[in-house]
Every structure is written in C-alpha cells, then in structure tokens.
Structure 1
Amino acid sequence: MSPTLGQLNAQQCRTFVPTLHTTPYPAIDPSLVNLPSPYVVCILGGHGAAGGAARTLSALDETANEVRSINPATKVVVAQCNIALDDDVKSLVGTVNSEFEGRLDAVVANAGYSGPLIADVVLEKPSDIQTSFDVNTVGPFLVAHYLLPLLLATESGAKSFITINSMGAPTVTGPSGHASYCVSKAAQARLIEMINEQYGGQGLFSASVHPGGMRSGFVKDLPEEILKLLNDSPDLVGAFCVWLSKPDAPQTQRDVLKGRFLSCKWDVSELEARFDEIKEKDLLKFRIAVE
C-alpha cells in the first residue's frame, strides 16, 4: 500500500515537495489574477474580505478598512458570528441574500481554536477539547451546512469551499501533539473529504489548507523553540487560496486537488508535477493502513 497522509508524520507532510515558501511568489501572485465582477467571498474567522464574519465586529474593522484602502470599489460587509453557534452561522445566509442577492463564489472557514499546548491527555482540560471541536470541527460543518447551497446555486461561480486547517492534523508525536487541537483538525480534514465525495461531482471544489507558521493570536503562550519557527507571511496563505479558487483555474488542478489536505508553503509548480502521482495513489487524504 502506498503511503498516504494518515501514514506520514507531520515532517514528511511538510516536505511533500522540495521547495517551501514563506512569502508569495510569482506563480501565485494574486495581483495577476483577474476576478470577475461580481465575485463574492465569505471569510469566517478573525479577519475577512468581501464578506467577513468574526465573533466581534471590532475584530473586522482593521481588515475592512485595509480592503477599502486597496480598492474603494470593493463592497465589504462585516457580520458578527460565532462559528460554533448554529443560529450565528445560519444568519450568514440572510446576509448573503440581502447584501449580495444570494451570490456566493467562495467560502474560507478560517476560524480556529487552540488550547494550551499540553501533550498529555491526562493534563489537558476537557473544556479545551470541547471548545476545539466546537470551533475546528462543528464550526466548518455548520458553515458547509448553510453555505454550500448558495455556492452550488451561484451560476458561473467559483464554487470553492476552503477550510484553513493545520499541520497539526497529521501530528501525533512531539511537543505540539496536543489532542484538543490536532484531533479536531484531523476531523476537519476528514469532513472536507466527505464534502468532496458528496458534492465534488456537482462542481464544488473543496480543500483543507495548512496556512504555514504565523505569529497569530494562537501563539502567545508557545515556547521560544516553537516561536522561532513561525516566520511565514500571512500573505502566503491568502495568495495560495486565491490560486486554488480563481475562476480560471485549470480543470485538472481542481479535479486533482479537490478534497485533499494541502500546504500553502508547497511550491505549486512542484505540486503540479506530482498531479498524476497524487491522483493515481490518492495521496493527501487520511487513511487507515490495514496490511
């Protein structure tokens, strides 16, 4: 049996291709992408774009103003939303309908939660694993439950559904292998696989994306030996997601990568060179080895 993601450790997964990036590069330069108008994106978690949702409105003000400063013509709508609450996520349907006439091209579920980094299930707090699953697994399910119908109903839309996952998903050992985060993120990746099985045939593109190592709000309590490794630009994952979901993405790219676990750090030209192998061996998915 060829090794798949479930049989690889996190280090092997990180180096799936030889070249790893820390900042955007020409092949995924978003400034070279011509998006159609209208093109509506709903981003959930902390900071967003044309449609953004976060638990507090103040969390979106800075990003909303930044988007407007780049292009004043961009319509930016912010919405308060706790991704783990059914009614909050459901309300986004009304927002999309009222503000964008029901059009939705792409969804990026970026919300996440990581409790203290304690690699011991006896010492981890049950409340942390509950919150991790509520945000990292139940939340993306709710987003898919309510927003997939809008994506699928948008004629000529990009029909892209991306969750921001983590290299913690394939991690089971080492100091960063804490159950609350890693297990809930692995479950999130599995959810994407199921969504692809159910809706990939209807033109939906879905993927789990590792965003690289950034000094976000998650990292304030991490030890220095881990902090020093977090040097990736947040622009990298943004550019990678644009590359994944751009309307003129080759159909081969969408067909091969849909439903899979990807890293924004991987060089896309080297990733493309492995397309045949990825498809033949069904790589970058979680599996149980039975031989």
Structure 2
Amino acid sequence: MKTADAVRKAAKDAGRVEPNVLVLEMDVCDRSSVEAAAKRVEEEWGQLDILVNNAGHMAEFASLLDVDEEDYMRAWDVNYWGVFRTTKAFLPLMLKGGDKTIVNLSSVAAHYAGVGGGAYHVSKFALARFTECVQDEYGAQRREFLGGRWLSCRWDLPRLLEMEDEIVAKDLLKFKCTGLWNLEA
C-alpha cells in the first residue's frame, strides 16, 4: 500500500476526517527541486503548518586521511545543507499561519567526536546549532517551548509537558559552552 493510501486508511480506521495528502518527490541536495516542491505546496495549500527535515546520509566511517572526500561532502550536503535549503524554501509558507513547527531530525552523534565519524557527527552538530539560530531569528513567530531545543529522551509526552517551566526557565536542551565566562583570567 502506498504511503498516501496508508495515511487515508489510518484516518478512516480511527474515525477521523480523511486528510488531504500531497505526495512530492524532492532532492534536498538540489535547490531547484526543493524550491519546486515549496511552490507546489503553496499552490495546493497556500501555507504549511509542519516541516519535518528527515533526510540523512552517513558517510563511511574513516579517519580524515582515509576518508572519501565526496562521501564526506555528501553527508554535509544532505545533513546540513539539505536542511538549510528546505527550511529556507518552506519557512515563508510556514510564517503565513498555522502551527509553524519545524522538526529537524539529528542524532545523538552530534554530542560526540569519534574516530572516523567526522562527517556525520560534525554535520549533525552543525544542524543542532542551525536549529537554534532559526529559533532565534523567527522564534517570536513560532512556538517557544521546544523551539530550537535538542530533544532525545525516554520521557513520555505528559512528563515532558510537566517539565516545560523548568526547561524554559533554565534554558535547557540546548548545546552550550558552560563555565567559560566564570573562569578567572
């Protein structure tokens, strides 16, 4: 069963209204492909509520001197630049109204430096910082609570929602350099 058909069937089985499903093929490494997809969404719906950036590429693990440079750059092109292109193309549609939610799928690997994982680890780290920057630039027009935050947890949604005040007050779930300004010169 095709994905669109599966979504419609799931809605019907759940007693929900059948959703309007638009199936598009898009290459996140090709700016014109991304822009064409955004244009098609605008023609069909006029705006976009939720964008999920889920494309990813893991280059073969190899030390810097042994890495295949094209494979390394492909990881960056998909994992970072693909998200950049897609967000830039679709953000204007999101700012027109609706939920204005962007979900960028990263990896716990963003927190680690490991032998041979440079392309993947570093591109995912850059993606986390990009996510924070987009929140800083457009946060006033979007939801604040989890905006720009890194979330990888074992909590269920009710527990996460219980922690909202603490997360916001302490500015948690972000990549930070802590203690630097507290050190004596």
- Alignment TM-score > 0.5, same fold: yes
Residue-by-residue CA offset, 1:128-170 (whole Å, 9 max, x unaligned) = 221111111111111111111111112xx11111111111111
Match of 2:175 in 1: 286
- Superposition pairs of residues 245-264 of structure 1, within 5 angstroms: 255-263=144-152
Q: Which has the higher contact order (CA 8 A, sep 6+)?
A: 1
- 1:113 is aligned, of 49, 54, 57, to 57
Match of 1:144 in 2: 87
Shift in Å at residue 264 of structure 1? 5.5
Paired residue type of 1:75? N
Paired residue type of 1:89? V
Q: Measure the CA separation in 1 of the matches of 2:8 and 2:90.
A: 25
Larger Rg: 2
Residue-by-residue CA offset, 1:62-112 (whole Å, 9 max, x unaligned) = 322311322363222211211121101101222112222x12111111111
Residue 169 of structure 2 corresponds to residue 267 of structure 1? no
Q: RMSD between aligned alpha carbons?
A: 2.1
Q: Measure the CA separation in 1 of the matches of 2:105 and 2:52.
A: 7
Residue 134 of structure 2 corresponds to residue 160 of structure 1? no
Contact 1:110 1:164 in 2 (8 A): yes
- Superposition pairs of residues 204-283 of structure 1, within 5 angstroms: 204-205=142-143, 255-263=144-152, 265-283=154-172
Q: Mean Cα displacement is larger for which, 62-71 or 181-190?
A: 62-71
- 1:201 is aligned, of 137, 140, 146, to 140
Match of 2:15 in 1: none
The count of residues paired between Structure 1 and Structure 2 equals 175
Q: Measure the CA separation in 2 of the matches of 1:114 and 1:70.
A: 32
Q: Give the share of equivalent positions with the same residue, in percent.
A: 34
Shift in Å at residue 273 of structure 1? 4.0
Q: Measure the CA separation in 1 of the matches of 2:176 and 2:85.
A: 24
Q: Measure the CA separation in 2 of the matches of 1:71 and 1:278.
A: 33
Q: Measure the CA separation in 1 of the matches of 2:56 and 2:8.
A: 25
Give the TM-score normalised by the residue count of structure 2.
Answer: 0.84
